[in-house]
Structure formats: C-alpha cells, structure tokens
Amino acid sequence: MKEKEVPQDNEGLLEGKLREVCYAVDDNGNYVTVLSTGWTPKNAALKQAWADVNDKIEETKQNVLTGKLSPLAYYMEKNIMNLKLLSQYAGIPKWKVKRHLKPGVFQKLADETLGKYAQALDITIDELKTFM
C-alpha cells in the first residue's frame, strides 16, 4: 500500500476518539506510518457484526414483550453476553441464570439477586425490573 493510498473512509465508527496507525510505503519505497480514519471494507465488516447483534436484541425484545422471556434475557443480549458470560459477571451459576430467563421465575427474584445482575449489566434494579 502506498502512503497516498491509505484510506480515510471516516464513517464515525472511531467516534473521533482516535485514528489508527497504518503502515505504507512512500515514493522512495520506504515504510512510514500514516494515521487512518477508516476503510470501507472494514467499516462494512464492523457494521455487519453490529447489525447481527442488533437483530438478536430486537428478537429478544419481542420475546420479552410477548411474555416468552424475562427482561434479563433482553439486557443480556444488549450487553452481547451469553449465559456463560452473564453467569461469570454476576457470579450466579449458569443453570440458575437459565431459569431466571423465564418470566415467572424472574418475577419472584429477591432484590439481592437482581442487584447482582444489575451490577453485571450496568443498570439499576429498577431498570431491570421495569422493562419498557
């Protein structure tokens, strides 16, 4: 890649927080570093990954609204977590987390347990309980 060809396809994915170091050759064939704000193909790949995450969140949201899953399932997806990861962050065994995804079981949870989830998911207990 030539120094002048280093792409600057800024699509806001870096949020202006940084530019990335790229290695490219100058006119004399020497390697130099150039800062880049983004590149279309990689932007597309990153957006695709988020679209997939968002599809899963939306699907789970519908399942919560129709009473098939508890709000915990929604916030789990929103944090890109699965049962195992949520179990590790909350310090609650996986089989219990799985049960807590059922609306009926979730409603009976003590505040102490809800607190553990809220902390793991970066929300308040009220947010966790009053979904929508």
Partner 1 sequence: MTEKNKDIIIDFKHHQAAHCENGAASNLLKHHNIHLSEPMVFGIGSGLFFSYMPFIKLNYLPVISFRPLPGMIFKRITRRLGIKITRERFNDQAKSMERLDESLRNGIPTGCLVGVYHLTYFPAPYRFHFNAHNIIVYGRQNGSYLISDPIMETPVSLTKEELMRVRFAKGTYPPKGRLYYIEGVPDSYNLKEAIIKGIHNTCKDMLEIPVPLFGVKGIRYLSKRMKRWPKRLGKKKASLYLGQVVRMLEEIGTGGAGFRFIYAAFLQEASKVLNRDELMQASREMTEAGDRWREFAVISGRIIKDRAGSEESYESASNILLEIADREEKIFKFLKKLPLN
Q: Which residues bind partner 1 (CB under 8 A)?
A: 1, 6, 13-15, 17-25, 29-31, 33, 35, 39-42, 44-46, 48-50, 52, 80-81, 84-85, 88-89
Residue 64, CB-side half-sphere exposure with 13 Å CA sphere:
24
If the CB atoms of residues 39 and 131 are measured against partner 1, the closer one turns out to be: 39
Shortest Cβ distance from residue 66 to partner 1 (Å)? 24
Which residue type is seen at 27? Answer: D
If the CB atoms of residues 18 and 132 are measured against partner 1, the closer one turns out to be: 18
Shortest Cβ distance from residue 13 to partner 1 (Å)? 5
- Closest of 78, 70, 74, 132 to residue 107, by C-alpha: 70
Shortest Cβ distance from residue 67 to partner 1 (Å)? 26
If the CB atoms of residues 84 and 107 are measured against partner 1, the closer one turns out to be: 84
Contact 131, 71 (CB under 8 A): yes
Residue 18, CB-side half-sphere exposure with 13 Å CA sphere:
3
How many residues would you count in the chain?
132
If the CB atoms of residues 53 and 65 are measured against partner 1, the closer one turns out to be: 53
Kindly state the DSSP code that residue 8 receives in the 8-state scheme: B
Shortest Cβ distance from residue 3 to partner 1 (Å)? 11
- Closest of 16, 35, 128 to residue 78, by C-alpha: 128
